Chains A and B, each alone.
Chain A
Amino acid sequence: MNAAEVRLILQSFQPEVGDENDPQFAEALRAAANDPALARWWSEEQAFDRAIAAQLAALPEPFGLKTRILAQQAAPARRFPARWIFGFASAVAVLLLLAFGAGLFRPAPATNLTADYAREMTSFIRLSPQLDMKSNDLGEIKTWLAKNNLQPLSVPDRLAALQPLGCRVLSFRGQDVTLVCFARERNRLAHLFVVDRAALPQMTPGGKPVFANNHGWMTATWAEGDRVYMITMQGGRAALEQYLPSA
């Protein structure tokens, strides 16, 4: 193994992952230890690597990322339930069917998943995301979305009257979410999110918008056709209501 080979090999050496047990690295380490010039180079190389690794490790944590990841956790897989659990579950299912038949339950309100969606999208906006496509022309934005096989959107009239800034594509539970941003008065923004209704099956077309407040960001979510729309902006409910389709 010559000096160039030793350098090439040791440049990929990481003691943290047990590389010293790899015969190739072990031989290169021995060679470096027995050659003063290589030993000096290796010492400087390690100092450089430590400095870069430390700076990379010091990158700040993005706001709310861990919370968003944990919030999207799928229901944990269950292991082979005992036979009595099947029997119990069957009995409960029968009782529930009877209860539904008797009209004891109303349809469940659009709550948890919609709340998760509003919270996750709002927390994303708080990261001040860059846009995939910037334009002050809503027609251009719609064309870009169509060109990229993304969902067509119907922008409420009063929102469409604002100046658009651009759009980008996000993800919620594996479904594409289209985000279009608009400029409001006094440098404030309004954000329109559109996702396929498959992502939020509780939302039914024709229902009233679901309002929520996430740390000062008001959201209104409603379904229209096979899409779910959500507007979010900083401010109160009254300010947001003026941009809804029914306003």
Chain B
Amino acid sequence: MATLDFEKLVEDFYMPLYRFALSLSRRESDAADLTQQTFFLWASKGHQLRDASKVKTWLFTSLYREFLGRKRQQDRYVEAENNPEAIAAQVVSASVVDQLDGDIVQRALLDLEEIYRAPLTLFYLRQLSYKEIAETLEIPIGTVMSRISRAKEQLRRALADDPRLTPNEKETSR
């Protein structure tokens, strides 16, 4: 594989990786640490990757594995997929969408259950296709779709319940 420019790689991906790490760890300092560690792994092991088109997926996958490894080490990992609640579909009106700011969205995203937070963040980062998301998270393609769908429902519900958004602008359907 042709040698990739490390600086260009950092420039292109450090912020998307940081945002993904933040959604996983929910702490800025941990997210920065995970991002830094991912590039350290690339610097030491990236040459083993044969297919240059897989660099992006490699970086996101490595970060995700690093996160899971640390979480297991800290004995905090809880698989949250059991007994998922039935969630009524929410509609957030266009005017409420216009009111969204970074803080509200970030909090709503971070409040999602982890199994939904990771695919939805990757979806909104607009870096990976759903197939690459499946590869990164090591889950089946169909599961990616269902988790993104459910995650969006959770996100809409969280936004619909956010007191900072004008209540009379929100509608709930079904």
Contact = CB atoms under 8 A, between A and B. Distances in A.
B127 to A, nearest CB: 7
B6 to A, nearest CB: 5
Interface residues of B, number: 57
A48 B155 CA distance: 11
A59 B26 CA distance: 13
B111 interface: no
A11 B40 contact: no
B135 to A, nearest CB: 13
Interface in A32-58: 44, 47-49, 51-53, 55-58
Interface in B126-157: 126-130, 132, 144-146, 148-149, 152, 155-156
A175 to B, nearest CB: 10
Contacts of A148: 73-74
Given A12-B144, A171-B40, A173-B40, A66 B129 contact: no
Interface string A216-246: 0000000000000000000000000000000
A62 B102 contact: no
A74 B10 CA distance: 13
A191 to B, nearest CB: 13
B172 interface: no
B61 interface: no
B51 interface: no
B14 A19 contact: no
Contacts, number: 140
Interface string B1-29: 00100110011001100110010000111
A55 B106 contact: yes
Interface string A75-89: 011010000000000
A242 to B, nearest CB: 28
A11 B109 contact: no
A69 B10 contact: yes
B35 interface: yes
B105 A52 contact: yes
A130 interface: yes
B162 to A, nearest CB: 13
Nearest to A48: B97
A84 B14 CA distance: 39
Contacts of B126: 14, 16-17, 53, 57
8 contacts: A9-B145, A49-B124, A55-B106, A56-B109, A65-B35, A128-B29, A171-B40, A174-B44
Interface of B: 3, 6-7, 10-11, 14-15, 18-19, 22, 27-33, 35-37, 39-40, 43-44, 47, 73-74, 91-92, 94, 97-98, 100-102, 104-106, 109, 121, 123-130, 132, 144-146, 148-149, 152, 155-156
Interface of A: 7-9, 11-12, 14, 16-19, 22, 44, 47-49, 51-53, 55-59, 61-62, 65-66, 68-70, 72-74, 76-77, 79, 124, 127-130, 132, 148, 168, 170-171, 173-174
